[in-house]
Amino acid sequence: MEGILYLLGLLKGMVTPFGITDLIDILIMAFVIYQVIKLIRRTNSGGVAKGILLFLIAMGAASIFKLNTVSFLLGKVVEWGVLALVILFQPEIRRLLEQIGRTNIGKVFTHEEERNELDSAITQTVEAYTSLSKTKTGALMVFERKNMLDDAIKTGTALDCTVNAELLKNIFWNKAPLHDGAVIVRAGRIVGAGCMLPMSGNVNLSRELGMRHRAGIGASEHTDAVVAIVSEETGSISVAVGGMLKRHLAPETLERLLRNELLPEQEDEDTAPKFKLSNLLRTGKGEKRDAKKTD
């Protein structure tokens, strides 16, 4: 009995009461970790983060197995590596600090306003694409999801405005200065226009597909973005997701597809049809059939 009481006394001494300072400490660390993860996603630095993690695991293994020479060399690399990372990510770190200064902490935990803007953006996009399709005006829009497209935005003109059908028709008018590039939408707002996208590396694409379609497919190959395209030759509407292209879409089909891809949690799983593009093209039949048609 005395041993149990002694053990309980030790445990009581080890456990400290949870106070308001502990809560503040946890919130600060959660916010810092959130911003770091957001920075990695924004700069597509996932590979660098994985490399650093593997490096730390190697250091731990060298210490456990007492590999003195390896531990010494890895320790020297860490000393210079921190400075190298600061130099390498200097623009991103500066942008992160600026963003922290502008951040409304309340928005970190709620996305309702963004969802409402995205819902409106889809409606306005469908309205604009319906008109652009009839006039055979080429258009290319990229809806950003988890993978940030800052590098593409830098190639065009940075904007910050709501998605509006009339604005889109003016941007893609064939005599407008920004009509050749892509419009990039982030969280329901236009953040860039006239942006250049990477071309698809798929050698099996139909030669009849134009540069606009190849750029749209390329963007969907490199990121998880949803890309909506209007053909300048035929006026047909297409959507690219995950490197797959679905063509000749009706406006109502375009709207359903965009909502299912960009706002999937709003759909009722029991009643809503499974209309995601990735599901439609999983068998590859749609892609093969559409690749034979002219752009």
Q: What is the pLDDT of residues 205-214, one digit of tens each?
A: 888 788 999 9
Asked if residue 6 belongs to a domain, the reply is no
Q: With cut-offs at 50, 70 and 90, classify the pLDDT of residue 177.
A: very high
The domain boundary, picked from 101, 130, 163, lies at: 101
Domain extent at residue 33: 22-101
CATH value at residue 217: 3.40.1700.10
pLDDT at 103: 53
Asked if residue 82 belongs to a domain, the reply is yes
Report the alpha-carbon distance of residue 40 to residue 47 in Å, rounded. 9
State whether 69 and 181 are in the same domain: no
State whether 179 and 250 are in the same domain: yes
For the chain, what is the domain count?
A: 2
State whether 252 and 154 are in the same domain: yes
pLDDT tops 60 at residue 232:
yes
State whether 155 and 211 are in the same domain: yes
The domain boundary, picked from 101, 123, 153, lies at: 101
Report the alpha-carbon distance of residue 14 to residue 17 in Å, rounded. 10
The domain boundary, picked from 37, 68, 101, lies at: 101
- pLDDT, averaged across the chain: 79
> Across residues 267-280, what is the average pLDDT?
46
Does residue 138 contact residue 282 with C-beta atoms inside 8 Å? no
pLDDT at 10: 67
> In a 3-state reduction of DSSP, which class is residue 238?
strand
pLDDT tens digit string along 88-99?
Answer: 667 667 766 666
State whether 273 and 175 are in the same domain: yes
pLDDT at 287: 41
pLDDT at 182: 96
The residue type of 193 is A
Give the best-scoring range by mean pLDDT among 36-50, 55-69, 94-108, 130-144.
130-144
pLDDT tops 50 at residue 36:
yes
pLDDT tens digit string along 132-161?
Answer: 999 999 999 999 998 889 889 999 999 999
Rounded to the nearest 10 degrees, what angle do helices 46-64 and 68-88 cross at? 160
State whether 32 and 130 are in the same domain: no
pLDDT tops 70 at residue 289:
no
pLDDT at 44: 55
Q: What is the DSSP letter of 279?
A: H
pLDDT at 274: 45
pLDDT at 65: 85
Report the alpha-carbon distance of residue 274 to residue 201 in Å, rounded. 29
- Per DSSP bridges, beta strands 139-143 and 189-195 are unpaired
